[in-house]
């Protein structure tokens, strides 16, 4: 009996061993599919590597390739962060090429993010590619709309400078009508016909045939300007219509609408006390990092340097002149001959026109000097007018005597000198307020940045004391122009939109007011 049991158990074990061997030799369908997918991914990665190597051998130098790779790694890292913040992007593998290239979370009603190209009253809808170049472009558009002056080229495209550089993912392709292409990393093109070259695809225009697209592009630049320039505004918004009132800050586009009808950036660079070379480099650094507002003056003795920095940045970074806003000022000792003063400023800056000119201080003949500036507005050589160091009494006397209302008043304002009565008075006139010495001014900056109230707020938001002060100004509706020659500080002073001060924090800073003016005017 025991022998029969042992024989039975041996047979059972043998059968189990045979079954296990069969399973190992024939994997399940799920395992087969997983293995096939992994093989496909490996093959795709190898092919992409070969393609990248082929492109890099077409003549790009080693240092350029290394810089481009670093930019691409940065863009991919940003894509990772976007995917982590957006559970939907993580959950839907179809929305990405690979796990490190998820599209951002802003989507249409159908769940797809779109880029919009606004051409006057017409709008093109662009479906972005799944690559780091399109991702970097989208990141730019998240911070602000981008205006590109485009022109026809070759009979198959319109092309224009992007104003910055994006990482490239070049491959030799034959374009199709509607392709939106990045060329040489810093030019954007919209194709209405075919062309074969090494390009990076940014996206594809949706819903238009080749003939329709040709008609839209042709009609647009036929009416946009006499020289055939086509002005295109790229945006993540399907409409550029804004309900913003004069003087109201647009925190999405970082601008304010002036009573002159022009928009002005709400943060920029002050150039007081910067020598020629330092000023040129600081202006270029600001423009390279996305800043577009620069303040200078006759008494700063650096208008020529500002102009040089602007011209170099326009050429090197492809920034259109109309995207840059330059303010200068004429001094009271020039009021006797304002026409000569205005002509001198235009000549020194040498940037075509002045976006805004201010009277630097009240003084003898200030009204007649202002009226001279008004004539230059009529000529288009000055776009907007303003005043510096004008307060309630001075404004009350001055405003009835001039024809064009000032668009801006620029005064000393910082947490120790807040002008809590003057600021609302000016704003109630429909005039924008801008502050100089926002960080306290030379000799006072250290104490202000080290103030315990400000440092504790900075720590709570993970930002610097300077960023807290500048954000406090913006939330009061005050434009900021901190001066700096330090590239890191210039970049930091533009990064003011990743946090917001609470009402309690705004009140705490308001309580620091000492009516402590740090300069005589």
Cβ-contact 351, 319 below 8 angstroms = no
Are 159 and 287 members of one domain?
no
Are 371 and 476 members of one domain?
yes
Are 192 and 256 members of one domain?
no
Are 359 and 225 members of one domain?
no
Work out the average pLDDT over 351-375: 97
Where is the domain boundary, 183, 213, 235?
235
DSSP letters spanning 147-203: EEEEEEETTTEEEEE-SS------EEEE--TTEEEEETTTEEEEESS--EEEEEEEE
CA distance 159 to 232: 10
What are the start-end ranges of the E strands in 316-364? 325-330, 354-359
Asked whether residue 320 carries a pLDDT value surpassing 90, the answer given is: yes
Whether residue 479 is contained in a domain is answered as yes
Whether residue 285 is contained in a domain is answered as yes
Are 308 and 395 members of one domain?
yes
Q: How many domains does the chain have?
A: 2
Confidence class of residue 121 from pLDDT cuts 50, 70 and 90? confident
45-54, long-range: CB < 8 A, 24+ apart? 51/171
User: Over the chain, what is the mean pLDDT?
Assistant: 81
pLDDT digits (tens, 9 = 90+) for 376-411: 988 889 999 999 999 999 999 999 999 899 999 999
Containing H/E element for 221?
helix 210-224
CA distance 415 to 430: 23
Are 257 and 230 members of one domain?
no
Confidence class of residue 508 from pLDDT cuts 50, 70 and 90? very high
Asked whether residue 95 carries a pLDDT value surpassing 60, the answer given is: no
Whether residue 517 is contained in a domain is answered as no
Are 125 and 149 members of one domain?
yes
Work out the average pLDDT over 456-480: 98
Catalytic residue among 116, 191, 192, 300: 300
Where is the domain boundary, 179, 207, 235?
235
Are 216 and 315 members of one domain?
no
Cβ-contact 151, 159 below 8 angstroms = yes
pLDDT digits (tens, 9 = 90+) for 429-465: 999 999 999 999 989 999 999 999 999 999 999 999 9
Whether residue 31 is contained in a domain is answered as no
Whether residue 494 is contained in a domain is answered as yes
Are 211 and 256 members of one domain?
no
Whether residue 24 is contained in a domain is answered as no
Whether residue 202 is contained in a domain is answered as yes
Contacts of 390 (CB under 8 A, 6+ apart): 362, 398, 406, 409, 411
Whether residue 4 is contained in a domain is answered as no
Are 154 and 198 members of one domain?
yes
Are 214 and 277 members of one domain?
no
Task: Specify the CATH number for the domain of residue 216.
Answer: 2.40.100.20
Task: Specify the CATH number for the domain of residue 339.
Answer: 3.20.20.100
- Most trustworthy range by pLDDT among 13-17, 39-43, 77-81, 134-138: 134-138
Q: What is the pLDDT of residue 231?
A: 87
Where is the domain boundary, 204, 235, 266?
235
Are 227 and 281 members of one domain?
no
Q: How many CB atoms lie within 10 A of CB 289?
A: 15
CA distance 373 to 334: 12
Q: Catalytic residue at 192?
A: no
Q: Which residue has the tokens 């009271």?
A: 332
pLDDT digits (tens, 9 = 90+) for 186-224: 999 999 999 999 999 999 999 998 889 988 887 444 334
Which residue range(s) make up the domain with 192? Answer: 115-235
pLDDT digits (tens, 9 = 90+) for 249-298: 999 999 999 988 889 999 999 999 999 999 999 999 999 999 999 999 99
């Amino acid at each position: 009996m025991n022998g029969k049991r042992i024989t039975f158990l041996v047979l059972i074990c043998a059968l189990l061993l045979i079954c296990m061997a069969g399973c190992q030799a024939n994997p399940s369908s799920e395992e087969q599919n997983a293995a096939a997918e992994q093989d496909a991914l490996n093959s795709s990665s190898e092919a992409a590597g070969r393609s990248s190597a082929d492109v890099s051998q077409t003549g790009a130098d080693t240092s350029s390739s290394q810089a481009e790779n670093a930019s691409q790694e940065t863009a991919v890292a940003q894509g990772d962060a976007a995917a982590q913040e957006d559970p939907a992007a993580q959950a839907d593998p179809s929305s990405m090429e690979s796990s490190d290239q998820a599209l951002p979370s802003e989507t249409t009603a159908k769940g797809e993010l779109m880029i919009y190209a606004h051409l006057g009253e017409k709008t093109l809808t662009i479906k972005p590619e799944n690559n780091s170049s399109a991702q970097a472009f989208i990141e730019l558009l998240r911070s602000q709309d981008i205006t590109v002056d485009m022109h026809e080229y070759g009979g198959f495209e319109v092309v224009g400078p992007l104003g910055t550089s994006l990482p490239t993912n070049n491959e030799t392709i034959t374009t199709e009508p509607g392709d939106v292409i990045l060329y040489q990393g810093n030019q954007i093109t919209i194709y209405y016909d075919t062309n074969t070259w090494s390009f990076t695809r940014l996206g594809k225009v949706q819903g238009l045939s080749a003939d329709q697209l040709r008609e839209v592009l042709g009609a647009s630049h036929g009416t946009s300007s006499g020289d055939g320039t086509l002005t295109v505004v790229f945006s993540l918004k399907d409409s550029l219509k804004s309900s913003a009132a004069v003087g109201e800050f647009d925190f999405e586009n970082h601008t304010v609408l002036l009573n002159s009808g022009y928009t002005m950036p709400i943060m920029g660079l002050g150039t007081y006390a910067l020598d020629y070379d330092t000023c040129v480099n600081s202006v270029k650094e600001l423009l390279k990092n996305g800043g577009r507002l620069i303040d200078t003056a006759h008494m700063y003795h650096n208008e020529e340097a500002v102009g040089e920095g602007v011209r170099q940045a326009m050429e090197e970074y492809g920034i259109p002149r109309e995207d840059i806003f330059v303010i200068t000022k004429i001094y009271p000792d020039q009021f006797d001959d304002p026409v000569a003063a205005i002509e001198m400023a235009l000549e020194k800056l040498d940037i075509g026109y002045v976006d805004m000119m201010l009277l630097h201080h009240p003084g003898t003949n200030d009204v007649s000097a202002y009226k001279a500036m008004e004539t230059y507005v009529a000529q288009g050589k000055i776009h907007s007018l303003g005043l510096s160091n004008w307060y309630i009494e001075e404004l009350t006397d001055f405003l009835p005597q001039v024809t064009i209302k000032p668009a801006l008043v620029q005064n000393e304002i910082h947490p120790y000198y807040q002008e809590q009565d003057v600021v609302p008075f000016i704003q109630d006139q429909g005039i924008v307020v801008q502050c100089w010495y926002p960080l306290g001014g030379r000799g006072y900056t250290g104490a202000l940045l080290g103030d315990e109230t400000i440092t504790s707020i900075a720590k709570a938001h993970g930002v610097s004391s300077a960023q807290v002060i500048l954000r406090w100004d913006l939330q009061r509706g005050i434009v900021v122009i901190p001066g700096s020659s330090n590239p890191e500080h210039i970049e930091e002073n533009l990064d003011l939109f990743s946090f917001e001060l609470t009402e309690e924090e705004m009140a705490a800073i308001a309580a620091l007011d000492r009516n402590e003016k740090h300069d005589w005017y």
